[in-house]
Amino acid sequence: MPPPDLFASFSLLIYSLVWTMYSADMGKPTNPVPDLLPGTLYLLILRTLRAGPLHGYAIARRIEEASADGLQIEEGSLYPALNRMLVKGWLAADWGLSETNRRARFYRLTQEGRKQLEREADTFSRLVIAIQRVMRTV
């Protein structure tokens, strides 16, 4: 049998781990807006810009509206993603005036962006089908 002080330390460690695992959301309602699956932000942006150029804020609002407020795109995720997509050549951007007469960067799909949209949509469709299969069988 381990010494009492070792047992007490071990018990305290287990208690701390369990408390850490479960205390973050104890008694609090869960977030009604789900987190995005990795990689889906690109797909949503590409699909949104298929209709025509938009500035960043309008992209986020359009996604929220199209999802009936089921998805919220945070600025801290949106603008880095837009910049990565510019570097990849999927988007091009020009400066213009927003509907509130503020200077804004308007993003549009490039030809490579349209091809990437097709690839992303195909990959996402296969992922959804695979998840649905698991949900039906497990």
Residue 5: per-residue pLDDT: 54
For residue 49, give the H/E element and its range.
Answer: helix 40-49
In a domain, 65, yes or no: yes
Per-position b or e across 112-127, b if 16+ CB within 10 A of its CB? ebeebbeebeeebeee
Is there a domain that residue 27 lies in? no
Q: Domain holding 61: CATH number?
A: 1.10.10.10
26 pLDDT band, cuts 50/70/90, is: low
pTM attached to this predicted model: 0.73
* Residue 54: domain span: 35-130
* Number of folded domains that form the chain: 1
- Asked if residue 93 lies in contact with residue 107, where contact means CB atoms within 8 angstroms, the answer is yes
pLDDT single digits (tens) 69-110: 899 999 999 999 999 999 999 999 999 999 899 999 999 999
